[in-house]
Amino acid sequence: MHGLRLTAAAVLLLAVPAARARAQAAPDSLPFHPGQWGVEAGVGGGGGAGALRFFSRATALTVDFSAAISKRNSDLEGPNTVDSDFSTRFLSARLGFRHYGGARRGIAGLFGAGAILSYNWANGNPGDGSQHETGVGGFAEAGASYFVTPRLALSGTYGLNLQYTTGNTRQVVGVVNGQQITSSMSGWVAQTTGVRLTAAIFF
């Protein structure tokens, strides 16, 4: 009888850590609940901001936007000084889902995928040239989140975008009686996003 008690105690001692490990790896170990909202923004040059809406303990619908605008002016010195202007605009919107793995010691793996829509516009002088490009496709990303608190997480992801792009360019050639040249382009573009760092608040 004494031997059976020792055996039972040993089994319990081994089973408790194993049960804890399984609990930590399960989605229930995550600090989320269905219907919860979150907001997320890029840090350290990651850019973009968006929102999350959880429909389970581990999976959320995501939407985010990115934008960039730049404008440069320069003077081309020579026999005749020429002013040069160049400006660009970029917009991107993504809609998809994100799934978190079970959290262990405050760290959870994540995977996301969905649709992406982007628009690029560029304009420059001299030459009165412009370029427009629209892209439609999908994205996928994988990474990990560290939960500073149940309501604050820092994440790092690495992703891939695949888009079918269409666009056109316009350029005026010749200073006097310049001739306008236009061209169109289309095709598939695949590019990695590099490492993107974000901070998220859940409420």
| DSSP symbols for 80-149 | S-EEEEEEEEEEEEEEEEEEEPPPBTTEEEEEEEEEEEEEEEEEEETTTEEEEEEEEEEEEEEEEEEEEE
Domain-located, residue 24 = no
pLDDT tier for residue 29 given thresholds of 50, 70 and 90: confident
Q: Determine contact, residues 167/131, Cβ cutoff 8 Å.
A: yes
Please give the pLDDT value at position 134. Answer: 97
pLDDT tier for residue 184 given thresholds of 50, 70 and 90: very high
By CB atoms closer than 10 A (0-12, 13-18, 19+), residue 94 is buried
Number of compact structural domains in the chain? 1
List, for residues 139-154, the tens digit of each pLDDT value. 999 999 999 999 999 9
List, for residues 95-113, the tens digit of each pLDDT value. 999 999 988 889 999 999 9
- Return the top range by mean pLDDT from 15-24, 67-76, 133-142, 170-179: 133-142
Q: What is the mean pLDDT of residues 149-174?
A: 91
Please give the pLDDT value at position 25. Answer: 43
Structure-block tokens of residue 3: 């031997």
Percentage with pLDDT > 90 across the chain = 57
Q: Which residue has the higher pLDDT, 123 or 165?
A: 165
Domain-located, residue 25 = no
How far apart are alpha carbons 42 and 37 in whole angstroms? 17
Please give the pLDDT value at position 1. Answer: 47
Domain-located, residue 32 = no
Please give the pLDDT value at position 102. Answer: 84
Residue 89 has pLDDT above 60, yes or no: yes
HSE-CB at 122 with a 13 A cutoff on CA atoms is 13
pTM over the 0.85 mark:
no
Please give the pLDDT value at position 143. Answer: 97
CA distances (Å), origin 126, targets 47, 123, 163: 31, 10, 31
Percentage with pLDDT > 70 across the chain = 75
Q: What is the mean pLDDT of residues 67-87?
A: 73
Domain-located, residue 166 = yes
Give the count of beta carbons closer than 10 Å to the beta carbon of residue 121.
16
Domain-located, residue 40 = no
Q: What is the mean pLDDT of residues 30-59?
A: 92
Domain-located, residue 110 = yes
Which residues, at least 6 apart from 160, have a Cβ–Cβ distance to it below 8 Å?
139, 140, 141, 190, 191, 192, 193
For residue 136, the enclosing domain spans 54-148+157-193
Domain-located, residue 73 = yes
Domain-located, residue 169 = yes
Q: What is the mean pLDDT of residues 24-47?
A: 81
Q: Which residue has the higher pLDDT, 177 or 117?
A: 117
